[in-house]
């Protein structure tokens, strides 16, 4: 296997983007990524599009490749629910590391606001296990995570206040992120007073419905060193499947798929969790950030909410998490979320992130934790600047 580096990244404004269609939105991250890498459209021999499928285009990869006229590329679309563009990145990484291609582009792009909210709630709810869970019982995605929140709070004594602290932190960092959907601070009181969406989760525990795109360009070692002085190396990208049926889960206080993916990733990268300088974790709901911290191994089981209470997940703390605003406040355009994490972490490791959001880089490692469904899929990516 060859070493592979991130050599270009681009990001669109996240939010309710009713001013653009799918191709136009993808272009907003494709163009800056090509500029960042110093490449032209015809230099891309493989284009992997991450799109979970919530807009009118049945073949989103085709619509995107056509708008940017990336006709020289082998083209495919990858789906792994909310981990879609991490899976797309894995496919591109495999092609580059194996020697099949020297360069590959991953475009994560999702348009979610073209449907009214109840229909999006319906489509995402159907994305669990439709036949046995949605058809008769109408589970929603906030509902799936709420089942975990209830279990976690009952087992470890965490409270709704602890969940609120996660939202408050992520909103704080979104204020200075120009790409973020929600750029205002919130208070614990505001979170606690917001209406219940799926008890015990409230409106401000939940990520918004978002349109957005983020693009990552990978290159093999030899090409990467020619293209850039600041390659960011992909040390590991590992995934694992989890049960679709919640009834098959042993436990509801963590996500098994993420635990296995993390173990595999640390083994592949030959490092331990304490070497991670900054992490983006899948905080689609506040409870998810707590479970992620424990699943990755930043702390023991039942300890994440105590770290949050101590402020250890802010910049300057033990492990800065989601200091770009996270899914919670930056927004969660399902198929673009994985590549958006890679965008933020690449900028972090290059030391060129937004000044107020730049984490201190001591060991030179960053980690992205991207979950599809409620741990139906999970991907862990470890990046380094070494």
Which segment (67-75, 125-133, 297-305, 370-378) binds another protein by CB under 8 A? 125-133
Burial 224-260 (b: 16+ CB within 10 A, else e): beebbeebbbbbbbbbbebbbebeebeebbbbbbbbb
Verify whether residue 82 is a known catalytic residue. yes
Pick from 40, 247, 355, 362: which binds another protein (CB under 8 A)? Answer: 247
**Residue among 11, 55, 82, 171 flagged as catalytic:** 82
Does 178 participate in binding another protein (rule CB under 8 A)?
A: no
Q: Considering the complex, what minimum distance in angstroms separates the CB of residue 45 from another protein?
A: 34
Does 209 participate in binding another protein (rule CB under 8 A)?
A: no
Is residue 362 within 8 Å of 326, Cβ to Cβ? no
Does 24 participate in binding another protein (rule CB under 8 A)?
A: no
Does 138 participate in binding another protein (rule CB under 8 A)?
A: yes
Between CA 288 and CA 281 the distance in angstroms is: 8
Q: Considering the complex, what minimum distance in angstroms separates the CB of residue 16 from another protein?
A: 7
Burial class (CB in 10 A: 0-12, 13-18, 19+), 120: middle
Pick from 59, 62, 101, 151: which binds another protein (CB under 8 A)? Answer: 151
Does 156 participate in binding another protein (rule CB under 8 A)?
A: no
Between CA 150 and CA 152 the distance in angstroms is: 6
Does 71 participate in binding another protein (rule CB under 8 A)?
A: no
Does 94 participate in binding another protein (rule CB under 8 A)?
A: no
Does 143 participate in binding another protein (rule CB under 8 A)?
A: yes
Does 190 participate in binding another protein (rule CB under 8 A)?
A: no
Pick from 195, 229, 316, 355: which binds another protein (CB under 8 A)? Answer: 195
Structure tokens at 100: 């099949």
Q: How many residues does the chain have?
A: 386
Site for another protein in 356-385 (CB under 8 A): none
Burial 336-349 (b: 16+ CB within 10 A, else e): bbbbbbbbbbbbbb
Structure tokens at 63: 């619509």
Verify whether residue 171 is a known catalytic residue. no
Nearer to another protein, 70 or 253 (CB): 253
Between CA 187 and CA 168 the distance in angstroms is: 6
Structure tokens at 6: 């991130």
Tokens 């073209």, located at residue:
114
**Residue among 148, 282, 332, 369 flagged as catalytic:** 332
Residue 199's CB: how many other CB atoms inside 10 A?
12
Nearer to another protein, 156 or 314 (CB): 156
Q: Which residue ranges make up the site for another protein (CB under 8 A)?
A: 16, 18-19, 56, 114, 118-119, 121-122, 125-126, 131-140, 142-143, 146-151, 154-155, 182, 184, 195-201, 245-249, 252
Active site residue ranges: 82, 332
């Amino acid at each position: 296997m060859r070493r592979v580096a991130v050599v270009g990244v681009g990001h669109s404004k996240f939010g309710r983007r009713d001013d653009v269609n799918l191709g136009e939105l993808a272009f907003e991250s494709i163009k800056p990524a090509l500029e960042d890498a110093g490449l032209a459209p015809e230099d891309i021999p493989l284009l992997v599009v991450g799109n979970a499928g919530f807009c009118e285009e049945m073949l989103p990869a085709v619509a995107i490749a056509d708008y940017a006229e990336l006709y020289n590329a082998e083209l495919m679309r990858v789906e792994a629910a909310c981990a879609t563009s991490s899976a797309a990145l894995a496919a591109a990484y495999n092609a580059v590391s194996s020697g099949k291609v020297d360069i590959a582009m991953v475009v994560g792009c999702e348009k979610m606001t073209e449907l009214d909210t109840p229909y999006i709630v319906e489509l995402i709810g159907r994305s669990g296990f439709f036949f046995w869970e949605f058809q008769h019982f109408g589970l929603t995605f906030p509902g799936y995570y709420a089942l975990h929140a209830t279990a976690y709070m009952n087992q470890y004594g965490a409270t709704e206040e602890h969940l609120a602290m996660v939202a408050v932190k992520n909103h704080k960092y979104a204020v200075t992120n120009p790409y973020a959907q929600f750029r205002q601070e919130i208070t614990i009181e505001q979170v606690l007073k917001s209406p219940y969406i799926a008890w015990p989760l409230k409106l401000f525990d939940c990520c918004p419905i978002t349109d957005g795109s983020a693009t990552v360009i990978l290159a093999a070692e030899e090409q990467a060193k020619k293209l850039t002085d600041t390659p960011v190396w992909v040390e590991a990208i590992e995934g694992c499947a989890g049960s679709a049926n919640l009834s098959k889960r042993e436990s509801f206080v963590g996500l098994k798929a993420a635990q296995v993916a993390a173990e595999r990733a640390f083994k592949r990268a030959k490092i331990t969790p304490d070497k991670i300088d900054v992490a983006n974790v899948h905080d689609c709901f506040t409870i998810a950030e707590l479970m992620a911290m424990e699943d990755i191994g930043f702390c023991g089981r039942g300890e994440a909410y105590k770290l949050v209470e101590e402020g250890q997940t802010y910049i300057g703390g033990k492990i800065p998490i989601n200091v770009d605003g996270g899914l919670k406040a930056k927004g969660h355009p399902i198929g673009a979320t994985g590549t958006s994490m890679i965008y933020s972490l690449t900028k972090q490791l290059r030391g060129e992130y937004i000044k107020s959001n730049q984490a201190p880089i001591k060991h030179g490692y960053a980690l992205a934790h991207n979950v599809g469904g409620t741990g139906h899929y999970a991907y862990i990516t470890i990046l380094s600047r070494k």
